[in-house]
Amino acid sequence: MDDQPQFDAFIEALSDSYRRELLLALIEHNPQNDDEPDPLDIHRSASEEGDQFDIFMYHLPKLEQLGVITWDRETDEISRGPNWDELAPLLELINNHREELPSEWFEKPPAGESSDEPSDS
């Protein structure tokens, strides 16, 4: 089996700052549960309806489809998914070298901006 498509999907998942921070947070905190619209309070600027829409309709489903998170839509609980162990070494590498990496990689975009856009499909 060719692992390249899954690797590419993992890299794409990490390309968005919300998804990247969510996955990095799950290294130490599993499961995450919060009554706020953003289960991890990572995207505090997600006060606009469009930002919340992106989180719930695009970012979380994308990570769930990859199997790296499990998301309970009724409780907003997010935990590591069945494919977590495949991505965990890369996440640990990023987390352990965060200080050596460009700080822009860990800055949250202003409200309404994202490093990738939801597809219209």
Domains and CATH numbers, the chain: 4-99 (1.10.10.10)
Record the pTM: 0.76
Q: Decide which of 88 and 107 is more confident.
A: 88
DSSP the chain: ---HHHHHHHHHHHTSHHHHHHHHHHHH--SB--SSSSTTS--TTTTSHHHHHHIIIIIHHHHHHHTSEEEETTTTEEEE-TTHHHHHHHHHHHHHTGGGS-GGGGPPPPTT--SS-----
The predicted structure's pLDDT at residue 102: 87
Query: Per this entry, what is the length of the chain?
Result: 121
